[in-house]
């Protein structure tokens, strides 16, 4: 059996830590990752976390440039289990909602949907305008999952790290990564 294979897209929304933590955790769980980060994504990873492009790319099994539209993940014949865009801008959300594969990230998302594989968009903006909301509906109608990184406080988190980890763990469980361990509510 081949290892689980996950495509990770990082775009220029706030919350670069989600993409980085996802890559770290996937590696720890033995998941093969294919990373595509947009230029704005690279900018935000540096701005919010102080990580360079090389440091980011080193966290993935394989990193692809957004202009590399001939990369393996641009084709449905390359089997993957799921794709997560973490974080996902309103611009990339709009591109996915309209089937616009204008770069490798949006092409890979389009392929993920056409192959009926799991696509999770960790959308980040506030507040939302009507275009954002309509685009989220479109992606949901196509089978994608809109997963804004909204933390839950009922586990009484002690740090931001804990909040981020729990969100990432929930996403990993959602894309059926074995041994992902989101906290479970046991009742009051
Ligand atoms: C510091 C910073 C924070 C940003 N945060 C967001 C955000 O939370 N959500 C969003 O949709 N766009 C955000 N943007 C704007 C996007 O980066 C911009 O629209 C960009 O063109 C998106 O391109 P991409 O989807 O190809 O990464 C932010 C930009 C900067 C510089």
Domain ranges of the chain: 5-174
With the most atoms of ligand 1 within 8 angstroms of its CB, the residue from 13, 39, 85, 100 to mutate is 13
Q: Is 138 in the pocket of ligand 1 (CB under 6 A)?
A: no
With the most atoms of ligand 1 within 8 angstroms of its CB, the residue from 16, 35, 38, 40 to mutate is 40
Tell me which DSSP letter residue 89 carries.
-
CA distance 67 to 134: 27
CA distance 89 to 95: 10
Q: Is 47 in the pocket of ligand 1 (CB under 6 A)?
A: yes
Residue 70 backbone dihedrals phi, psi, to 5 degrees? -95, 5
Is residue 175 within 8 Å of residue 120, measured between CB atoms? yes
Tell me which DSSP letter residue 49 carries.
H
Give 56 Cα–ligand 1 centroid separation in angstroms: 18
Residue 3: per-residue pLDDT? 73
pLDDT tens-digit series, residues 129-178: 999 999 999 999 999 999 999 999 998 999 999 999 999 999 999 999 98
Q: Is 11 in the pocket of ligand 1 (CB under 6 A)?
A: yes
Residue 171: per-residue pLDDT? 97
Residue 1: per-residue pLDDT? 65
Is residue 172 within 8 Å of residue 118, measured between CB atoms? no
- CA-to-CA separations, 101 to 27, 43, 115, in angstroms, rounded: 27, 21, 15
Average pLDDT, the chain: 96
pLDDT tens-digit series, residues 79-130: 999 999 999 999 999 999 999 999 999 999 999 999 999 999 999 999 999 9
Q: Is 124 in the pocket of ligand 1 (CB under 6 A)?
A: yes
CATH architecture, range 5-174: 3-Layer(aba) Sandwich (3.40)
pLDDT tens-digit series, residues 33-90: 999 999 999 999 999 999 999 999 999 999 999 999 999 999 999 999 999 999 999 9
pTM of the model: 0.97
Is residue 32 within 8 Å of residue 3, measured between CB atoms? yes
């Amino acid at each position: 059996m081949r290892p689980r294979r996950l495509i990770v897209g990082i775009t220029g929304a706030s919350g670069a830590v989600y993409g980085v933590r996802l890559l770290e955790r996937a590696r720890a769980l033995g998941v093969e990752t294919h990373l595509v980060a947009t230029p704005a994504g690279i900018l935000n990873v540096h701005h919010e976390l102080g990580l360079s492009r090389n440091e980011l790319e080193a966290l993935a099994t394989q990193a692809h440039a957004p202009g590399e539209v001939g990369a393996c993940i641009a084709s449905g014949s390359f089997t993957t289990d799921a794709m997560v865009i973490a974080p996902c801008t309103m611009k990339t959300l709009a591109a996915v909602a309209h089937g616009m594969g204008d770069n490798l990230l949006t092409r890979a998302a389009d392929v993920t949907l056409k192959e009926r594989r799991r696509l999770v968009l960790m959308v980040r903006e506030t507040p939302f305008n009507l275009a954002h909301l309509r685009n989220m509906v479109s992606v949901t109608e196509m089978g994608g999952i809109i997963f804004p990184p909204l933390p839950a406080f009922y586990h009484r988190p002690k740090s931001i790290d804990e909040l981020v980890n729990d969100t990432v763990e929930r996403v990993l469980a959602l894309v059926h990564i074995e041994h992902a361990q989101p906290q479970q509510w046991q009742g009051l």
